[in-house]
Chain A
């Protein structure tokens, strides 16, 4: 990161660049790394090698991880399957259930702000003849339970709705969704990736049948994840998506990523022990950032429900300022934006669009994801830089000028027709 645009002196105790994009990924906790290392060069056996100690030691480590993960989510060890990450877990859950229960029905329900791993999987199933309903969300980002009730019919076999959204941090009412599904004999899968380890999540209490988990969102390594597959009330079966060897009870073949799995297990153990305390600390940091920004700037809007939200997420739109130019002004801070200019496809965030906010606010949004390693000093520095940059960019903004003159921007005839 040598492109330092504005060379501010960082106060002591603040090391640049600052990482505040913990929804994208998290730094691997040093304790997790330490736990993983022996499994590369010392205990490097294949966990499926049944005939020698190298295999037994690896298998034992895998089983210990299974226990740690099961404990964090309230499951039993037999219900945890290892995968390469949440995208694979989502694919396995949705396609696996769809194929297994095809005789029963062909209707799947999901919602508009899901991660692409879910949406694209559903789109592929549509090509195979499944019917998919994409529920809209309300302005606060949550689905309406009545919409879900109305959408369910006698051909519905699966509902897949995420626990927490990766862009806006909004929490869906999964306990009620799960209860409704169980009432109707429909399976409930949830992409729990952003929620596990951050907010209480229990597959029994929350009425969940399938749940996707990944390591790299909870201070574990990239490339490993898990899928919770319920065994009782009801017993869920899936058609494997990867064949070859029958590992993981036939649900997911392939040699296990032992070091990665050890890492995931350790990350879950750390989360189990420290979650309540950490959530308090992190939400205090998040609120500190929010209050500083909103206290010093006008026309800033939080995207999505403030009440039902992850403790570490802040997604704000800064009216009259475009997201990428804002990121450029704070380029010693790692965050992300819903602006079209920051996406590979030049489309603004579909999540923000689903909230009903105009495209202009999507273009002006910044997502902050606070994490375990962020400090108060960092938050204060970030707040100052954001406020200074927004003020500077508003001086450059014709929209701000027009708004200050009292012009209603929604009534202006713009020269360019939006192409999307």
Chain B
């Protein structure tokens, strides 16, 4: 299987590898996939609480070259976008950018899921914070 140059580039020079503090209120963590399937992606975003802009993103992936490239690309793309803009990212765009063959399309789907899961986690934290704040006010 010949890999596209972009996949190779992300594999050799992955962007934004690492972890953010998952306990921080500004961080959303998405963990998708399963070891039995051969694909697990962890994608984290740090969101500015005022502007809702994703200021930082980090990823870690257990998976093939295409999975690593898809999640690395995902962190590149979400940075600088607002949360709502990031939700617009579609897996088909990842497929196109990385020239993924049909057998690797599922890697891009997982990356899109990872973005949504991270945003979902962040949103959950925001509503929990709000509930806590209201509770404090009412106390």
Binding site for B on A (CB under 8 A): 3, 5-6, 320-325, 328-329, 339-341, 346, 348, 358-360, 363, 395-401, 409, 414-419
Instruction: Tell me the chain B residues, 89-124 only, with Cβ under 8 Å from chain A.
Output: 103, 110, 113, 117
Specify which chain A residues have a CB less than 8 angstroms from the CB of B19 in the assembled complex.
401
A318 vs chain B, min Cβ distance (A): 11
Q: What's the Cα separation between A320 and B40 when bound, in Å?
A: 10
The answer to whether the Cβ of B68 comes within 8 Å of any Cβ in the partner chain is: yes
In chain A, what residue has the closest Cβ to B34?
A414
Nearest CB in chain B: distance from A399 CB, A? 5
Q: Given A398-B60, A399-B40, are A324 and B34 also a contact pair (CB < 8 Å)?
A: no
Contacting pair A399 B62 (CB below 8 A): yes
With a cutoff of 8 Å between Cβ atoms, the chain B residues found around residue A400 in the complex are 62
User: Do the beta carbons of B64 and A397 come within 8 Å of each other?
Assistant: no
Contact of A409 among B2, B17, B35 (CB under 8 A): B35
Tell me if B64 and A339 are in contact (CB < 8 A).
yes
Please list 27 pairs of residues, one from A and one from B, whose beta carbons are closer than 8 Å in the complex, sorted by A's number.
A3-B8, A5-B8, A5-B12, A320-B62, A323-B38, A324-B65, A328-B3, A328-B64, A339-B38, A340-B38, A358-B35, A360-B36, A363-B36, A395-B17, A396-B17, A396-B61, A396-B62, A398-B40, A398-B41, A399-B35, A401-B60, A414-B33, A414-B40, A415-B31, A415-B113, A416-B33, A417-B34
B32 contacts A416, C-beta separation under 8 Å = yes
Q: Closest chain A residue to B8 by CB distance? A: A5
State how many angstroms separate the Cβ of B24 from the closest Cβ of chain A: 17
| Distance to closest chain A CB from B15 (angstroms) | 12
A328 and B61 contact, Cβ closer than 8 Å, known pairs A415-B31, A416-B33, A418-B37: no
Residues of A within 8 A of B42 (CB): 398, 401
Q: Would you call A325 and B37 a contact (CB within 8 A)?
A: no
A359 to chain B, nearest CB (A): 4
How many residues belonging to B are interface residues under a CB distance threshold of 8 Å?
A: 32
The verdict on A415 contacting B62 (CB below 8 Å), with A3-B8, A328-B3 known, is no
A6 and B33: CB pair below 8 A? no
Contact A322 B63 (CB under 8 A): yes
**Contact residues in A for B61 (Cβ distance below 8 Å):** 396-398
From the candidates B14, B32, B39, B103, name the one contacting A396 in the complex (CB within 8 A). B14
Which residues from A are CB-within-8-Å of B60?
396-398, 401
Taken together as a complex, chains A and B put the C-alpha atoms of A397 and B39 apart, in Å, by 10
Does B38 contact A363, Cβ atoms closer than 8 Å? Answer: yes
The chain A residue with its CB closest to the CB of B68 is A325
The complex places the Cα of A10 from the Cα of B48 at a distance, in Å, of: 47
